[in-house]
Structure 1
Amino acid sequence: MIKKNLNLSMKIVLLLLSSAMLAVLCYAAFRENVTEFYDYIDSIEKPFNEDKFFKRFEQEAQEINLYSKNKEDKKALKKLLKKHDIYTNVYIYDDAEDNFLGGDFGKVLDEPVGITPLYSLQNDFEQYSFNRLISGSVKFKDGEGIVYVSSMHLLKYVKYYFYVALFVSLLIFFLPTFIFIKRKVKYINILKQEVLNMSQGDLSHAMTIMSHDELAILAQEMDTLRITLASNYQNEARIKESHQEMITCLSHDLRTPLTALRGYLDILCLHCYKDEKQMDHYLNSCIEKTEQIKDLSNKTFEYSLVYNDDLIPSLETISSESFIQYIEEHLEYLELEGFKIEKEITISSVQLQLDLSMMKRMMDNICSNIQKYARKEQPIYLQISIEKGNIKIVFENEKKEINHEVESNKIGLKSVNKIIEIHQGQCFIQDLMDSFILIITFPCHL
């Protein structure tokens, strides 16, 4: 199942939007429950004791004339009304006609008012603290009056409630994003350490892949690079080991015929032979050893061809007839060795772009492979045709029942495949129990 990847910026935007919605809901919940907070404060601390206030107020009011026009009485009434803390408002109305007779505001209302958005938000919480209005009838010296007391003592607590609401809302807004970014930074540090480990040659540990964003894609690509590098290093080590083994084997194999060749040449040079028949024997032995050395040198060339990735062919244009004639000339050698060739050639005249030196090497390998492994009692089938703009060459032969001269690493067939790849063709091999089929195709110019 393929999982959809959200890019990192989209995740951050969605996270901010979700956090903003939750923060607004949290702030609204605090705002909605501000009256419950006031009730709670009032129940546990009782910031304003109205009974105590009215009791003191009545005791002093009995010595003051409420309705008198006398300056002394008005001054005494005004002094009485000012006897309250900064969070209390006091108003007096007459008992009969409900006319305003005097009052005094709490000094907290004289504090400077801010115009910042933060103060506006706080003021929205404070408006509920002005609703604590208590009234009562108070006896004065010359009559009764209605006293109204407005308590604003909850203002002492509302700013703390507001700051808590603001802090929790901002925390809900910023905390998820902070946690998300912290996790991503931690993941980036993990990837950085793993990349540093890769740079120091540690390719055995897989990259950590978390989530489904750009960082995960980066980690996946880095892990693919790690696997590729590890595979390349392993292949390079194998090739190096193979080259070392080849050099060791060739050095050992060359030493034997060279030593024998030097011995036969020394015998001939010193004329240490009985007659011409023995001399001919030594000469034939020298020729045999030179053939062995030539075969070993050919193998060295095949290895260099197979493992050289920068080889560029020297292409030249030849006709299909010339190329077929070139193949048949190589097959004549097999016929001289006792093999029977059956041909089926159905091809029109086309132009081919070939490197003739590589084609010669390819045919040498094919013929050598047939000579070593094919049964002489059965014919060798050769088929040449044109299919879909490609020239197709098919070799088929029956295999020997017992064959102990197995070619090391099948370097000859690898060389054939490499030559065909260089010519942008394809090579198919069917190595069955009793038969061997080689199919070669490469493009031609019609």
Structure 2
Amino acid sequence: MIKKNLNLSMKIVLLLLSSAILAILCYAFFRNNVTDFYTFIETVEKPFNEKTFIKGFKEEAKNISIYSKDKNDKKELKKLLKKHDDYTDIFLYNEKELYIDGSFGKILDEPVGFTPLYILKSDFEQYAFNNFFIETITFKDGEGIVYVSSMHLLKYVKYYFYVALFVSLLIFFLPTFIFIKRKVKYINILKQEVLNMSQGDLSHAMTIMSHDELAILAQEMDTLRITLASNYQNEARIKEAHQEMITCLSHDLRTPLTALRGYLDILCLHCYKDEKQMDHYLNSCIEKTEQIKDLSNKTFEYSLVYNDDLIPSLETISSESFIQYIEEHLEYLELEGFKIEKEITISSVQLHLDLSMMKRMMDNICSNIQKYARKEQPIYLQISIEKGNLKIVFENEKKEINHEVESNKIGLKSVKKIIEIHQGQCFIQDLMDSFILIITFPCYL
């Protein structure tokens, strides 16, 4: 018990020291950024409009003499110089920069007490006196130089100071208060959690706070809870894995079925030029049928996204063959009304790829384009060699989001995992109006 109290006491002492340092740093931060606060006030509030003030001053100065010794003229001049608010100083100099007359703002006449709080506050105010400007004014009998000092920021600095003081004190006291309050409640929390375990609730983790004796007790109780709940968790994980496999299988089957339906519609409507093109569509139908059959026979592969141990069946193919393979998949998009703009700058290289996985990857990419791309804008395809890698870029503009279109992201996850299995990289930029997919594969000369 003595060790426990000592540990908690040391934590409180260290917390108080840390809070004090943070509070001082916070106060210093506010103090160092007071000029930024002034700049913000000048930008948002504009407490003193220099142009309006000078404009009015110039209009009245035209009818007033500054060099006349007549008492009435001096009286009028003094009246003009005092025509300002409590936060403005005005001083008048002649052309030789000799002082003629002036008027201080009444804010400077207010009594102050030299208390510690005032000393701290006045330290924030010192920069509020730096806002001044000089203007040459034409009077009735000559020109004079008017020096105007604006102290309007003093109206706002006290609020800034009180906020800085409040936040600093809050940083000092709040962490210690929260720490003590949490420790007082911790035993009741552990008591309730043990009661929950006794009633069969094994899904709720024990609350572990800090590293004191109570936390060690909670950790041991949590280890016991995990041991008791492991069988239930394993059963839930198996069920979830089966559901994810079914979802992935459904997605991958739907893509070739959609393409097959499209080819069959074309054949049914006789939308082909000649028998050669008809044969091409028939072969495409057969190919999609074989793909569906392959997917049905290898359902275990649809744990791809969640299986880190899958090994691809790599074949060596040329870059030309692979590009032709990509272009064949894009033909269906062109038949659907999409425009494809290609920029292919590539030399002959060798690639090690699993063609069945590449087929699934292209089906998923084309399905994604068909669902979400705008037909009015072209699909950009760029293929090049960069730093020993084959780089493929798909870019399209996105149509307005249709919430009825299913989007479980499993297609893009599958594409990314296939590329990673081939030691490649996949970059996805899903912007507001456009979608960019960048794929890189290692290539060999």
Name the TM-score, length of structure 2 as normaliser.
Answer: 0.43
User: Whose Rg is larger?
Assistant: 1
Name the TM-score, length of structure 1 as normaliser.
Answer: 0.43
